[in-house]
Each structure stands twice: as C-alpha cells, then as structure tokens.
C-alpha cells in the first residue's frame, strides 16, 4: 500500500505529496515508538534544550535526549559507514590482489540513487520529476545515473521488439 506525506518546504511552489512505501511507514512507526520510550524515560528533561520542538512538536528525527538530528549528523553517519566499508574493501583488495573500489556516500547521494531507481523501474521522467520536486526535466536527467550495462540491456530489449521491423 502506498502512503503519502505532505512536504512543506521553504518555497511555496515546492509543496508536494511524497509517496512512501509500507517499509518507510514501518520505519517511521518504529522510530516513533523508540522516541516515545525515550520521552517516557527522561520525562520533562527530554527535549528541554531543543527550541525546535516548540515550533515543531511532532518533530520526527530526534536523539534519545530530544535534540534534533541535523544535516551534519547525517553526514557524520554516512562518513562513519563509508569508513567501515572502505576499510574492509582495502583489506579485501590486498588479499585478492586487485584495485580498491572505494565507496563514496553522502546524504545527497541517496537522492541520486532514488531518482535513478525510479527511472530504471520504468517510471516516466515527468512522474520522477514531480515526486522529486524537480522544476525541469533537465534536473531529473542530472540526477539519473544509468550504467552502460543497463543502457545496453534496454537497447537489446528494444531491438528484440522492434529490430526486425523495416
């Protein structure tokens, strides 16, 4: 089942509904349960120093003490995960005698991945752009990264269907 979340950005023209799959809703519910447990454990101390909670009492992304997760927190977490994966990759490349393929990940790279996967799933560029909040198709194309193997497979599928027509 598909759910929708209201997205209210700084620019009014960017207001849109964002589709969320069941797995995302479940993750939000789990996060909310943990947040409620944290609130109960700390009582009035939870979020006491977080001014954003006054303006946004339903704030989702908070720490166990009620502080807000900020973009820098997401960047730090991506960096932490990247370092773990790249350390393992370095160890494996030495054992296997091959060149390392280092992971590069930022919070923004998830947006590129989402757009690419939408396009690869067959979703039309106008729909992808609408969901992503892109004002132009050119912006959607910028976020789309198709590997050569995928392009080849898509062309072969086309050729199989229409290649014999003349």
Q: Say which residues have a Cβ less than 8 Å from residue 77's Cβ, sequence separation at least 6.
A: none
Residues in the chain: 166
162: in domain:
no
14: in domain:
yes
Give the count of domains, the chain: 1
> What is the phi/psi pair of residue 47, to 5°?
70, 10
79: in domain:
no
45: in domain:
yes
140: in domain:
no
By the 8 A CB rule, do 59 and 68 touch?
A: yes
Per-residue model confidence as pLDDT tens digits over 78-107: 999 999 999 999 999 999 999 988 888 888
Per-residue model confidence as pLDDT tens digits over 33-63: 999 999 999 999 999 999 999 888 888 889 9
- For 148, half-sphere exposure in the C-beta direction (CA atoms, 13 angstrom radius) is 0
Helices and strands, number each (H, E), in the chain = 7, 2
Give the pLDDT of residue 14. Answer: 66
32: in domain:
yes
Question: Average pLDDT, whole number, for the chain?
Answer: 88
109: in domain:
no
Find the domain containing 16 and state its range.
Answer: 1-69
CA distances from 27 to 34, 41, 61, 116 (A): 11, 21, 12, 22
Q: What is the dihedral sign for C-alpha 26, 30, 33, 39? A: negative
User: Lowest-confidence range among 14-28, 85-99, 113-127?
Assistant: 14-28
């Amino acid at each position: 089942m598909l759910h929708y979340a209201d997205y209210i950005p700084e620019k009014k023209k960017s207001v849109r509904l964002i589709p969320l799959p069941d797995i995302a809703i479940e993750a939000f519910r789990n996060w909310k349960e943990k947040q409620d447990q944290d609130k109960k454990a700390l009582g009035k101390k939870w979020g006491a120093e977080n001014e954003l909670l006054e303006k946004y009492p339903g704030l989702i992304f908070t720490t166990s003490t009620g502080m807000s997760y900020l973009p820098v927190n997401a960047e730090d977490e991506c960096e932490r995960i990247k370092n773990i994966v790249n350390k393992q990759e370095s160890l494996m490349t030495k054992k296997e005698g091959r060149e390392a393929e280092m992971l590069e990940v930022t919070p923004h790279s998830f947006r590129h991945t989402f757009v690419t996967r939408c396009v690869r799933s067959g979703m039309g560029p106008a729909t992808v752009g609408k969901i992503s909040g892109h004002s132009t198709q050119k912006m959607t194309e910028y976020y789309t990264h198709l590997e050569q193997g995928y392009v080849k497979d898509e062309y072969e599928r086309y050729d199989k269907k229409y290649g014999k027509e003349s």
